[in-house]
Chains A and B, each alone.
Chain A
Amino acid sequence: MLGHVDDRTGSPAALAAALASTGYLADDDLATAAFLALKMHRPLFCEGEPGTGKTALAQALATVLDAELIRLQCYEGIDASQALYDWDFPRQLLHLRALEATGGAGSTDDVEASLYDRRFLLARPILRALQSPRAVLLVDEVDRADDEFEAFLLEVLTEHAVSIPELGEVRAEVPPVVVLTSNRTREVHDALKRRCLYLWLDHPDVAREIEILHARIPGLPERLAAEVAAAAHRLREADLLKPPGVAESLDWARALQLVGARHLDIDSAAATLGAVLKYREDADRVRARLDTLLAS
């Protein structure tokens, strides 16, 4: 079975072209990693600075594969009942009462069997991804979850199955494409990493960033795109508390477009700085030297 590999994803170059048609510009490295993930049925583990397009990659892959994007946002304390499945307790209780009232309650075994029926099962994102005929499962910011949660993920990522004690195993007929992202706030356990393909995403260079701006914001003036990309690039080298990612330069370009700026000058930059810098210290430093930032 070839799974998700068809002519649009038959080689890294074809996949890069398909991703580009959705507005996601992938370099060779990224295209190769995504190609391998599809071909080898392995999860893709994306790490990198915030705003380098980790989450967007999953969205673009879902569009290319014409699959449902199922997103699981991780947070501390997330557990099986929020990620895999849960039982609908109120309905189960009502069911019990109904059985009692109609006198339909047979032996305890029968009651239990009717209580743990599929109709009382609430599918959470991972189970939904396994049941879906074509899905991209995005496990976002897996570093925010704790190690107990990683243990749940292991079974899912290797077996493409979830075992539910009361029901048995739910196995995916078509394994979902899995993308995990991490911002490196914590080191994810090696047992999880070694089941994945590793992809490190860096900020793009100026030329590529201009392409990304154009691909993502239709109608953006040529000059504005070039100036925003160049300024963002300079900000990244300016030793700030939080250097802007591509997500920030996209926000910035949109903000400039909204205030009607034709090009990036000191006034328009000062007015829209909040879209690109998120710390007061950074904003103060940059505002004091806006002229050198914009000088090209």
Chain B
Amino acid sequence: MTDAQLTGAQPDPVRGLVGFTAVLRHAGLPVTTERVTAFLTAVDALGVGREQVYRAGVHTLCADPDDLPRYERAFVDWFDADPRRPPTAPQRPRTPRLSSLLPSGKTDGTDRGDDDGPQVRASASGAEVLRHHDLGELSLTERAHLRALLALLRPDPPTRPSRRRAPARRGAADPRRTLRAALRTDGELCVLARRDRSRRPRKVVLLIDVSGSMESYADALLRFAHVVVRRAPASTEVFTLGTRLTRVTRELRLRDPEHALAAAGRSIPDWSGGTRLGEVLAAFVDRWGRRGAARRAVVVIFSDGWERGDTTLLGAQLAQLRRLAHRLVWVNPHVGKAGYAPVQGGIVAALPHLDDLLAGHSLATLEDLLEVMARA
């Protein structure tokens, strides 16, 4: 068959299938060239019926149960759509804006010529003030500055002893290295090499309340979460709590904070809605926590603890989390404010199960939190 025939009346099936994989990639599936090749091989093995193509794709292009509904939607869109209708353009992530390290709000001094000194000092003290400023009451320029300060954080992930052994000065004998050393001395055992447990990053789970009452903090907290995820991507999980549980770890692994935040924002369906803290925490414990995400992890909940109605479910879930986790930390932006008393229903139910109740309303308090996490 010649090229002309291929592109003639009969559309090339390979082109259609590859086009479908491109749509999947835009839908967020981890489609790589290798996977596309596997997909085409699988279609070749099964045949080109609608059902066969569907199955071939499920097994070669999906990698996670979360991918399955997205795959289903894209499949229906691509193969059942009217071919004459032009496809809708896929959404491109916003191009990142450059953010300045200097706060741009200080324009009162106008231009003071070439003298750089005062400007830099003003900036440093501005940063110091901003560190203690309430995250919920920032102006636009302060927000931009805060983003830059957040990006400068270098949190140390908490560690735990690993089951894996590494060469060490003390510990159990290491036969492999001992024998190697003995070979160098013609079989005479002169040194006994040893190995001991190494340390690994401990799992960290951040649960961020994005309901209406936490709206002013949610953006800053997600940015904070992005910093923590970027520092230890394999051992950190981030979920948002609202009327439902949303996992945003994958989105926050993107390197660029603007892309990551935009992606996370798109995936959160209940942004600044209500809260059902108890039920959503139950969903987390059931679907992730007990399976392993929370086991021996440092679990941090960012919430103001406003829970309508009965709080027994919330208390029961926190008791369970406490049994699973290594350390359970609650961060409440209102704790740091004058006159705060832990009297909200949610907090009262939670208090007996917490290791720490911390403030989280400013950059300085978030740095304290990182300190607590690193020591955990």
Hey, which bits of chain A sit against chain B, CB under 8 A?
12, 28-29, 32-33, 35-36, 39-40, 42, 47, 75-77, 79, 81, 87, 89, 92-93, 96-97, 99-100, 105, 108, 111-112, 115, 143, 146-148, 183-187, 189-190, 193-195, 197-200, 241-242
Cα of A268 to Cα of B29 in the assembled complex, Å: 48
Indicate if the CB atoms of B187 and A185 lie closer than 8 Å: no
Indicate if the CB atoms of B45 and A36 lie closer than 8 Å: yes
Does B162 interact with chain A (Cβ within 8 Å)? yes
Q: Which listed residue (A28, A42, A111) contacts B38, Cβ 8 A?
A: A42
Indicate if the CB atoms of B60 and A197 lie closer than 8 Å: yes
Q: Which listed residue (B32, B38, B62, B286) contacts A40, Cβ 8 A?
A: B38
Cα of A62 to Cα of B58 in the assembled complex, Å: 24
Residues from chain B with Cβ under 8 Å of A185 in the complex: 291-293, 295
Does B163 interact with chain A (Cβ within 8 Å)? yes
Q: Which listed residue (A28, A79, A96) contacts B182, Cβ 8 A?
A: A96
Cα of A256 to Cα of B63 in the assembled complex, Å: 39
Does B234 interact with chain A (Cβ within 8 Å)? yes
Cα of A199 to Cα of B179 in the assembled complex, Å: 44
Indicate if the CB atoms of B42 and A93 lie closer than 8 Å: no
Cα of A115 to Cα of B179 in the assembled complex, Å: 10
Q: Which listed residue (A100, A105, A186) contacts B292, Cβ 8 A?
A: A186
Does B56 interact with chain A (Cβ within 8 Å)? yes
B interface majority secondary structure? helix
Indicate if the CB atoms of A194 and B45 lie closer than 8 Å: no
A32-B59 contact, Cβ under 8 Å, with A184-B291, A200-B68: yes
Residues from chain A with Cβ under 8 Å of B56 in the complex: 32, 36
A77-B164 contact, Cβ under 8 Å, with A92-B179, A108-B183, A111-B186: yes
Question: Which partner residue on chain B sits nearest A75 by CB separation?
Answer: B163
Indicate if the CB atoms of A87 and B163 lie closer than 8 Å: no
A29-B292 contact, Cβ under 8 Å, with A40-B41, A194-B32: no
Q: What are 8 A-B pairs with beta-carbon distances under 8 A?
A: A89-B178, A97-B187, A111-B187, A115-B183, A146-B200, A190-B30, A195-B34, A197-B38
Does B25 interact with chain A (Cβ within 8 Å)? no
Indicate if the CB atoms of B186 and A89 lie closer than 8 Å: no
Does B143 interact with chain A (Cβ within 8 Å)? no
B255–chain A nearest beta-carbon distance, Å:
16
Does B353 interact with chain A (Cβ within 8 Å)? no
A143-B292 contact, Cβ under 8 Å, with A92-B179, A111-B187: yes
Cα of A35 to Cα of B55 in the assembled complex, Å: 11
Does B326 interact with chain A (Cβ within 8 Å)? no
Residues from chain B with Cβ under 8 Å of A189 in the complex: 234
A105-B186 contact, Cβ under 8 Å, with A197-B59, A198-B58: yes
**Mask: chain B, 23-62; 1 = CB below 8 Å from A; 0 = not:** 0000000101011001001100110000000011011101
Does B175 interact with chain A (Cβ within 8 Å)? yes
